[in-house]
Amino acid sequence: MQNIRFHQVLKLPKQTKSYLSLPSELVSVGTKTKRMAGGLFKENKYLRMFTLALFVVLALAGLAFSLYILYEAHTVYMYALGLFLLGLSLVSGFFNVFAGFLYYRSYFYDRHLDALKAALKPMRRFPTVAIAMPVYNEDPKLVMRNMLQLTRLNYPKDRVRFYLLDDSTEGGIAAQLKEFAAEHGITYLHRAERNAFKAGNLNNMLKYSKEEFLAVFDYDEYLTNTNFLLDLIPYFHDKDIGYIQTEKSSFGGTFFSDSVNLFDAFFFKFIQPARAFDNTAIFAGSCGIIRRKALDRIGGFPEYVIEDTFLSFESNLHNYKGLYIPKIYAYGRPIRTFSALSKQQWRYNYGDTQFLLYYFKRRTSRFKRASPLWNIDYITHGFGLNYLSVTLILFTIASIMIVFSNLQFVHLSLFQIMSSGSAMIYLEIMGALAVILSFFMPVFLTRVYFKSVTKGLMVFILNFSLAMVRTKAAISAIFNRRPSWQWTRRAQGRKGYLLYSLYSTRYELGFSSLLFALGGMAYLTNNITGSLWLALYGALYTGATFMMYKYG
């Protein structure tokens, strides 16, 4: 496998070398990687077990508090509140315990992967590979630089073919990319109509491609490890492997973009390895390789907003396995603005909700034979962002109901709580513990695994700031509305515009204003605890306005 005698070094014309200049962002990547890897707490399974235990305590605390409300209920209002909170507690408890299980399980993936590596056999032949880059009205210089970097892959040049899949509607961009592709022997495919977005673009390519494997890279991803194909193709010796996904990350950037990158870091460092044990690792759309036979068998890329998740699901349904390699081969462009993050999260949650509906419709005899964990993997994936958004808003509504209930808990002083020996008081304390742990967990995890408390706080605030956007996306998917959604910020450079920020986040501001008003009403009735509780929620939802004003 290591003998690359077929490899031919690519000779680039002088005029193209400017496109291949090393991205300036890569200077900070090495520092970021070193900081994240070297600054971790000493990793061991006991730390993972402690994390799992915290998630279990969080689940039990929420459940105990909802049972306490039902026990104390004497009116229809209180029974409704108890049942409402019990349902939310069961949902969040399931997700919390399963998340803890994933954290713990992912610790053992390296050992599993070492066993797979040891079983690899030397390559007898180099299969043909198509390298595809879908683009749509992107910066031509960025596309050219990253595409040329891909042509440096260590692989026999007669066994690989490069495809530039251009959906650009701007004539100037299309003309530049077409000329660039012709100059460098890259197959250029352009569509007059952008049907089915990225999935439709890739499916169009499949009409012209005959290669045995397909590797996909996004236009903004810069290859940093040219052994991508040599490292991954040997795993396909197992005929049941349909696709391989590698770890994705972005260039180093601002505090905001690095915090946003933690969303993906949690997924790729913990969830993907744990899912890979069940052969259900998600193909994440790029930086991965797909077996062409698997694509043909499932009928190409499913034409949905998040085609990658549907592709993974259909591949698994057709008895193909998904493999995950926790290694970064390319870095993407970081998300630097809150509006860009909002659009991304809209698309993700629209697609995840769409997938969840698809999942329950797609029950077949083959599907029913899948393991329970296989099913849970996909249910939790489809419901994941809804758990972080819809459930969050519902818990906020439940908090309003609690504050204006006749529960004595919200009126008790700290002295009364500490001096009471009542079992009911202890259940009330469990409710307070559930609230505290829900705030504490993201900060704890980022401190332990990514050596940063401030980024943990940012991730926590971002979940509240994005809750409305994600919830609206879920509603749009349920009612089969258009998947695209134009965030009100239309252009770059809006950072620091107060009036624009207020208008762009008017729904979040409306909700937070209601919370502040209700908190004021609680204060007037001498319910100081409840007043502070609602005021805290109100402040968290105004995070969207702050993020829009500060980051654009």
Provide the token pair at 362: 């797609």
Radius of gyration of the chain (CA): 25
Residue type, 344: Q
Alpha helices in 207-337 (DSSP H): 228-232, 255-266, 272-276, 292-298, 307-317
Closest CA to 324 of 249, 248, 378: 248
In sign, the C-alpha dihedral spanning 156, 157, 160, 163 is positive
Write down the pLDDT at residue 480. 83
Give dist(CA 119, CA 39) in Å, integer. Answer: 33
Give dist(CA 385, CA 472) in Å, integer. Answer: 12
Query: Domain locations in the chain?
Result: 45-107+385-551, 123-336
475: part of which helix (H) or strand (E)? helix 467-478
Give dist(CA 412, CA 405) in Å, integer. Answer: 13
CATH of domain 123-336: 3.90.550.10
Provide the token pair at 96: 């919390």
Write down the pLDDT at residue 19. 52
Write down the pLDDT at residue 21. 57
Closest CA to 403 of 239, 521, 311, 544: 521
Strand arrangement of the beta sheet that strand 187-190 belongs to: 187-190, 160-166, 129-135, 213-216, 288-291, 241-250, 321-332, 222-223
Write down the pLDDT at residue 492. 46
| Per-residue pLDDT tens listing for the chain (552 residues) | 333 333 333 333 333 444 555 665 654 554 444 444 333 445 678 888 888 898 898 888 888 888 888 887 888 888 999 999 999 999 988 998 998 899 899 999 999 999 999 999 888 899 999 999 999 999 999 999 999 999 999 999 999 999 999 999 988 999 999 999 999 999 999 998 888 889 999 999 999 999 999 999 999 999 999 999 999 999 999 999 999 999 999 988 899 999 999 888 989 999 999 999 999 999 999 999 999 999 999 999 999 989 999 999 999 999 999 999 999 999 999 999 999 999 999 999 999 999 999 998 886 656 656 778 888 999 999 999 888 899 989 999 998 998 888 665 444 455 555 555 444 455 556 666 666 777 777 777 787 777 888 888 899 899 999 999 999 999 999 988 776 654 433 444 466 688 889 988 999 999 999 999 999 998 998 888 788 889 999 999 999 999 999 998
Write down the pLDDT at residue 198. 94
Longest dimension (CA), the chain: 82
Q: What number of CA atoms fall less than 13 Å from residue 150's CA on the CB side?
A: 31
179-214 burial, b if ≥16 CB within 10 A, otherwise e? ebbeebebbbbebeeeebbbbbbbbbbbeebebbbb
Angle at 301 between CA 474 and CA 211, to 5 degrees: 155
CB-based contact 496:375 (threshold 8 Å) = no
In the block, residue with structure tokens 């907003």: 305
First and final CA of the chain: distance in angstroms? 48
Q: Is 18 exposed, middle or buried (0-12, 13-18, 19+ CB in 10 A)?
A: exposed
Residue 173's CB is within 10 A of a number of other CB atoms, namely 18
Give dist(CA 282, CA 296) in Å, integer. Answer: 19
Q: Is 438 exposed, middle or buried (0-12, 13-18, 19+ CB in 10 A)?
A: middle
Give dist(CA 417, CA 141) in Å, integer. Answer: 64
Q: Which distant-in-sequence residues (6+ apart) come within 8 Å of 115 by Cβ?
A: none
Give dist(CA 303, CA 294) in Å, integer. Answer: 16
Provide the token pair at 204: 């169009």
Provide the token pair at 88: 């939310």
Write down the pLDDT at residue 24. 59
